[in-house]
Structure 1
């Protein structure tokens, strides 16, 4: 796409707004280079990045870009062996600090899930050791600190001692010889401490003159008594500068070693700032993420021109590229035809640049190879071209590049010449562009083109609405309705005599009358359809409210039913427990009374096991649905079954009747009703059932541990004991439920995993497993 289309459609103004949203010079530089992409994969990635930034910003979160600057020139100088200044080193340290902050911020961000931004952030390399070394040498004001080296500390200590001695001597002179001084102060000239001495007392003071006042009455003299100490001070300052240069050279060499990582960090930070600038612009424009396609299909609801203010803009619905490839818009001047052209073109360029567009959610735009526009007066005085010639020169260039992946926008096609010839030429041009399967929107004043949409396949008429009552355009786009002439109605409203209006109507052709009558009928039908749509929408909203109310009441019913089921099951469990205790007492009494005929020990164990496991199983709703399905299956001899009332597995030995079977459970045989049996799947299939629902028969250890609500220290103690039990049980992996909360317990659990030698990995659960509220341990 050429630069001219950016100017014509005012895309450059959008770029200016985008640049304003960037926080750093790096992001601003990338924003200025924004261009529409023509590859759909690239566009989709850009749109996903922008949308993820919008989701983060929507939660009042933004990346901390403070302290980041463009350090690429400094990196380059260090790379070729240059010595960086202290301020340059400070900028690199500050950028590394900002890099670390951004990386930490994204790592700690729990919501939303932004994979592209997270992946980009993972590429950042904080280089903490380099940051600490620079910070240890240079303070926040860009000065090399005393502790940068032992030598520098000693030199500066000597400098301070010398300065103190000089000041003491000079201040003594200001007290004892104040009458010889212009002012009783100690000042500096040529990096030497001096006194302002009156001209007439030059010989009395003695020493070296370094400067004099403009009048010559004051001499700035270095008394002889401090010359030697000043010399020592000057030597110390030279040594100080040599040591500072040495320190900066060492830092520059260390920066040069990391030049690739530093440059990559700058590129990533630039990209992140650019992405968030797009997200911020989307929020400012109240924009939505468009679906993108490469089929030339455009559909937008309530699309708004992004450069118009809220009190100026009128939202419009636009559809193009599926049932028809061309739209011909007619209507009065200043009615909004040109704005509609620019709207479609500008939003297309924005979408292909990764920017969201100001329209309702669910809008869809196409990725075009080129967008062409012939809009406005392109008259060139230098080339002596008329308006018509200028337009035709541009149109000729457009026609030479048109194909099925181009969007073409014509404003006042064929204008500037004889109306009859202009209309014929406009139709021929439209035929050529439509024949090449390009997407076209054209505006015109020619009445001949009103019938064009009815005679050409793939072309539809449209118009901008005009309110005859107020004599003002409404700027609403009406697709499928050609613009009608409002001259007679406007004249009547303005008071023109009805006789004159009737005479004028007599003079227009029959065809024109028919077309106007057809347009008026279409307009009436459209208004009626809009009223019907509004009424249907009201009914639909009412039906939706009734549906939501019914769903809510059904949910309440289901919850109440579940509550009653659970209450009944708990009551049954209590009764079974009481029966178990009584049976246990009977068994114990029988043990005490047994004589010669003794029961075998394993038979006692089997009997007792039936009592122990005779508790009702409080199933979840999903488990009940599964059981209801398998209950209806046919039972055959040899099938493995579950005795629901006893929660025991057994095998069918005999079919007594259609409703009763003999079942072997351990050492015991019993008659069981069919509705109390559940057919078990073969072991191979059964093994695929979720392990989280199976209770360990030996130790009672489950493959999951719920720590929610526990105090931090108690939770870690429980976790330690639980891991030992799980390892003994031989689990390959376990689930630790710690919830989201403040994140302290999650961090404690993950820190525990890093310390434990038997835990191979600790990963956050998937969305189905609980997301960031769950950590999965895998054992060695």
Structure 2
């Protein structure tokens, strides 16, 4: 017994020492337990949301409640609703059993689930819910016989508690319950105004139009009507924003067996003006439904056009990628041919250089010729005065594409496209000029050893003589040298009006030291 007692005392002493060491860690261990519990809760919610195709909405830093395709979690096979509630007060009107209370509870439940990060069935990309410190619901009938309190008195007690809070989301079902609707409308209009001033966001359902009419002119009040299918006698669970809903009291009484004569007398007592108001309300609802249907059709059409636009963009991008690939391929071949030409140039092989340059040029894509509408040809007559370059002459004969004109006593055959009509000028004395130009099979001009100005004068006279003799292609030799004479020749040929084009001569005709000129 003594040994056992000593053993127990030692164990107790050890336990005290261990407890003294571990007591400082108790808050940290408790913190770890709480955080792991919270993490387990979040993980369980995420896994639950994934298995049910639900979403978790994080509250935003505002008081907007925008729901898109939200389904109430407590309703079997619910119809998804879409609500845009950004104002301070939302008033839901319409017939009994039309879905007003369901919409109220949906707004409150969605806000509550977002506040505590509970998964819900909703479109998270188009929905957002604000952050509220409290969510209050005034829904049940507070009447109590034991406490000797009426329905209206109980409602007043509930409303008195609402003034104690700020930044709360409040839902009130059948706000005018238990008292005269006209008096309640005036009272609750002031009560709601005071609650809004305290920063509260309120949702109210009612089927009395008096309160809705009193609050409808405010900018911070949103109206919403519950729709009812009178032909099928079923609620549609659809809602229209911006209108006051019809109550369908007379229609409901008729449907459930009330004598039609009684209904007729009731309508007469209700008044013709009120009946017209109900008709206008219903007509407004029908127009709103029609507009909603047309908007849906336009949205579908717009979505189809967006899909087609996306497909066209993808096709264009695909073609652009293919074009870039082809361009890169052609550029690679061109660069390779240029590289080979440079290698040949190092060996001073002129024939190889020209072959490689022609090879590189052949690899480039041929540009599409630009088609320009040709103007109507001008018809010239014999004896008509025309302008040819800077001189005027007279038409001697006209062919299909050219004409013979007489300029200062000299006859020249020119193309019709080079002529322009001119006013009739007085005829000058006819002078006969004899050209001393030798007729050759081709015209050549050698400019070696000349300065730039002298070369330009020689080329001007040379080209004029060639035109007079009817040549359409000549060759001009200028050599290579320092390049100054070659540059002067090219600049002169660029601006000469009778030169169609010019290129370097082939290798056997002078290569870079000569130009083939087409007139």
| TM-score under structure 1 length normalisation | 0.40
Indicate which of 225, 228, 236 corresponds to 1:466: 228
Say whether the 8 Å CA contact 1:298–1:320 is kept in structure 2.
yes
Q: How is 1:104-115 mapped onto 2 (pairs within 5 angstroms)?
A: none
Alignment match, 1:476: 238
Alignment match, 1:525: 287
Alignment match, 1:512: 274
List alignment gaps of at least 5 residues for structure 1: 1-240, 588-655, 658-780
Q: How is 1:490-505 mapped onto 2 (pairs within 5 angstroms)?
A: 490=252, 501-505=263-267
Alignment match, 2:111: 348
Alignment match, 1:317: 82
Q: Distance in 2 between matches of 1:460 and 1:479?
A: 7
Indicate which of 527, 534, 540 corresponds to 2:296: 534
Q: Distance in 1 between matches of 2:272 and 2:206?
A: 22
Q: How is 1:288-299 mapped onto 2 (pairs within 5 angstroms)?
A: 288-290=55-57, 292-299=59-66
Alignment match, 1:366: 130
Alignment match, 1:326: 89
Of structures 1 and 2, the larger Rg is shown by 2
Say whether the 8 Å CA contact 1:482–1:519 is kept in structure 2.
yes
CA-to-aligned-CA distance 1:507-540 (integer Å, 9 cap, x gap): 2124422320221121111111012112211220
Offset at residue 475 of structure 1 (A): 2.4
Alignment match, 2:404: none
Say whether the 8 Å CA contact 1:331–1:465 is kept in structure 2.
yes
After superposition, the CA RMSD in angstroms is: 3.9
Say whether the 8 Å CA contact 2:57–2:129 is kept in structure 1.
yes
Offset at residue 276 of structure 1 (A): 0.9
Q: How is 1:220-299 mapped onto 2 (pairs within 5 angstroms)?
A: 265-283=32-50, 286-290=53-57, 292-299=59-66
Offset at residue 381 of structure 1 (A): 4.0
CA-to-aligned-CA distance 1:343-387 (integer Å, 9 cap, x gap): 222222222223354321231111123322211122334422222
Q: Distance in 1 between matches of 2:47 and 2:65?
A: 25
Indicate which of 150, 175, 178 corresponds to 1:416: 178
Q: Distance in 1 between matches of 2:21 and 2:221?
A: 67
Structure with the largest fraction of helix: 1
Q: 1:393 to 1:315 in 2, by over 3 A?
A: same
Q: 1:475 to 1:421 in 2, by over 3 A?
A: same
Q: 1:578 to 1:257 in 2, by over 3 A?
A: farther
Say whether the 8 Å CA contact 2:207–2:247 is kept in structure 1.
no
Q: Distance in 1 between matches of 2:226 and 2:13?
A: 74
Q: 1:319 to 1:566 in 2, by over 3 A?
A: same
Offset at residue 460 of structure 1 (A): 2.8
Q: 1:290 to 1:520 in 2, by over 3 A?
A: same
Q: 1:359 to 1:581 in 2, by over 3 A?
A: same
List alignment gaps of at least 5 residues for structure 2: 1-7, 350-486, 489-519
Q: How is 1:257-656 mapped onto 2 (pairs within 5 angstroms)?
A: 265-283=32-50, 286-290=53-57, 292-309=59-76, 311=77, 313-321=78-86, 324-361=87-124, 362-398=126-162, 400-403=163-166, 405-490=167-252, 501-579=263-341, 582=344
Moved more, 285-294 or 507-516: 285-294
CA-to-aligned-CA distance 1:82-103 (integer Å, 9 cap, x gap): xxxxxxxxxxxxxxxxxxxxxx
